[in-house]
Chains A and B, each alone.
Chain A
């Protein structure tokens, strides 16, 4: 299993600003995954962060809106840029172990 530390745990932000979410894993992993969970909804994969290369984004998500960094094998950041109220969600990072995913505790973002 992996221990994943994610911060901040929650934030309230103003429209038009940006927030960077950090994710630290206690072991080296090749891929890290960022998911979004909109209020009362399920989880949707935003992108896969690979160390040493550009992140791979899923349909409907773009780098300008959700830039991702992956400077090493234990750390990644997701930035939510130029936020609007529609970005209010829980953002979760995850890593795989075998076929299972382990998740951080999530960042609950509210945009006013």
Chain B
């Protein structure tokens, strides 16, 4: 079954605004990660939050995790045109190899200058 369902599918904002993306998953997880992909190429790891954590920050990124609702959100504050990319959540389910991540469908973020 598909883990990591994301919404919105696409988000268009102005530079300086905040962008929030949401992700839901279906089974228990060890951690949930967020990745960024530019122009359909390789993914870049952004941030990881473990199942026993509720919130984490890294620079302009803030991620939350609600294991009771099986959901996570990624907030990008003060967005820049360079943040334009696709963003994917990826769940690492309990009992699986660390390399086996189940990715969401992604959110396409467009930041207009």
B48 at the interface (CB under 8 A from A): yes
The answer to whether B88 touches A42, judged by C-beta atoms less than 8 angstroms apart, is yes
Residues of A within 8 Å of B13, CB to CB, are: none
Whether the pair A31, B99 counts as a contact (CB closer than 8 A) is: yes
- Specify the main secondary structure of chain A where it touches its partner: strand
0/1 string, A32-70, CB within 8 A of B gives 1: 010001000111110010000000001000000000000
Flag the segment in B37-45, B56-64, B75-83 that touches A. B37-45
Closest chain-A Cβ to B5's Cβ sits at a distance in Å of: 10
A interface footprint on B3-44 (CB within 8 Å = 1, 0 otherwise): 010000000000000000000000000110101000011111
Task: Please pick, from A6, A33, A42, the residue contacting B104 in the complex, using a CB distance under 8 A.
Answer: A42
Residue pair A105, B100 in contact (C-beta under 8 Å):
no
Contact of A45 among B4, B40, B100, B106 (CB under 8 A): B100
Is the C-beta of B101 less than 8 angstroms from some C-beta in chain A? yes
Chain B contacts of A99 at CB under 8 A? Answer: 30-31, 33, 48, 92, 98
**Are B105's CB and A101's CB within 8 A?**
no
Query: Closest CB of chain B to A95's CB: distance in Å?
Result: 8
- Count residues of B near A (Cβ-Cβ below 8 Å): 24
Q: Which residues of A contact B31 (CB under 8 A)?
A: 99
The CA-CA distance from A92 to B105 in the complex, in Å, is: 16
> Does the CB pair B103–A105 fall under 8 Å?
no
Partner of A42 from the list B41, B45, B105 (CB cut-off 8 Å) is B105
Please state if B43 and A33 are interface contacts (CB–CB under 8 Å): no
Interfacial chain B residues near A41, Cβ < 8 Å: 105
Contact A45 B42 (CB under 8 A): no
Tell me the bound Cα distance from A87 to B42 in angstroms: 18
**Given A33-B99, A90-B40 in contact, is the A43-B88 Cβ separation under 8 Å?**
yes
Q: Which residues of A contact B (CB under 8 A)?
A: 4, 6, 31, 33, 37, 41-45, 48, 58, 90, 92, 94, 96, 99-106, 108
The 7 closest A-B pairs by CB, nearest first: A103-B42, A33-B99, A105-B42, A42-B103, A43-B103, A103-B43, A100-B45
B interface, CB within 8 angstroms of A: 4, 30-31, 33, 35, 40-45, 48, 88, 90, 92, 97-101, 103-106
